[in-house]
Amino acid sequence: MKHHQIQYIEFATKSFDVVKKFYSEAFSWEFVDYGTEYIAFEGESVSGGFYIGNPIKGSMMIILYSEKLEESKVRVEKAGGKVTRDIFSFPGGRRFEFSDPDGNNMAVWTDR
């Protein structure tokens, strides 16, 4: 573990089925069900969970890293995510922003 690294993230969702489908297709996350109120996920460098609730749009933005930004964008779109800001450059690299099926704002960036 790295000091001050985001270690675990929890999101509200309206539907476990919808987020499982989206995040498994877009980022290959794997899920473990813990009853009817909570599911956990694991990705290559991230872990967290989803709980049944009402997502609040714009309350935070999680930013994921990608070695293949364009490929990640295609996967997000194919999985049902909505790209809200197309790929753009900034001093540290490039990124795009999207919303997941619950309206959570997310981004994917690369330094390549």
CATH code for the domain of 84: 3.10.180.10
User: Is pLDDT above 70 for 83?
Assistant: yes
Q: Which pLDDT does position 57 carry in this prediction?
A: 79
pLDDT category, 15, cuts 50, 70, 90? very high
73 found inside a domain:
yes
| Mean pLDDT, range 72-88, rounded to an integer | 97
Q: Which residues pair with 38 in a beta bridge?
A: 34, 51
Tally of structural domains, the chain: 1
CB 105 within 8 A of CB 97: yes
- Asked, for residue 3, whether it belongs to a domain, the answer is no
Per-residue confidence band for 8, with pLDDT thresholds at 50, 70 and 90: confident
**Whether the predicted model's global pTM rises above the 0.85 cut:** no
To 10 degrees, the CA torsion angle through 54, 58, 59, 64? 100
